Amino acid sequence: MTPQKWKRHFGLKRDTDDEKTNVTKEKSRQMALQLGLGGRTGIEIGGEREGLVPSDAWKRRVQGDAWRSGDTANVSIGQGQLLVTPLQMAVYTAALANGGRVYRPRLVREPARPEDGFVRELALGRALRYVLEHRVFINGLRTVVLR
């Protein structure tokens, strides 16, 4: 997606619209966090890493530099300082696919063996949270593919 299309998608009119850019980058960051990126998933094993969905404050503190529009573009396509684990991506993708419900992943200790007649159905449990704005991400993904 070109920077112009990305800005139009998120309701920005021009490069100098700093106030809207600041709101948009923080809103995008908050949605990414709500969808499971950058934080521990809560799976029942030790050693899970958090990852990072960077912010302007983080960049100023760690890199001594202000956030730029290029940072937003890079992070929005999974580049730059964004750090996520494969499990976070699985939680994120599942939430986008199931309508915005974020579930804590669980380990299955015994796999299903249909050939032996051993099939166990697991309840999903209660969603940790529901992300209403998940459609923004889905629409962004669709726009990248179709345009």
Distance separating alpha carbons of residues 58 and 128, to the nearest angstrom: 26
DSSP at 83: B
Mapped onto helix, strand or coil, the DSSP state of residue 3 is: helix
Q: What dotted CATH number matches 3-146?
A: 3.40.710
For 126, other C-beta atoms within 10 Å of its C-beta total 8
What pLDDT, on a 0 to 100 scale, did the predictor assign at position 6? 52
Task: Please give the model's pTM, rounded to 2 decimal places.
Answer: 0.70
Checking if the pLDDT of 111 tops 80, the result is: no
Per residue in 23-67, pLDDT (tens digit) is 477 888 888 888 889 999 988 888 999 999 999 999 999 999 999
The percentage of the chain sitting over the pLDDT mark of 70, rounded to a whole number, equals: 79
Copy the structure tokens of residue 72: 């937003």
Distance separating alpha carbons of residues 110 and 112, to the nearest angstrom: 7
Computed over every residue of the chain, the mean pLDDT equals: 79
State the average pLDDT over residues 85-96.
Answer: 92
Query: Which helix H or strand E contains 63, and what residues bound it?
Result: helix 56-63
Phi, psi of 55 (to 5 degrees): -130, 170
Copy the structure tokens of residue 26: 């923080």
Q: Is 91 exposed, middle or buried (0-12, 13-18, 19+ CB in 10 A)?
A: buried
State the average pLDDT over residues 129-137.
Answer: 74
DSSP at 122: -
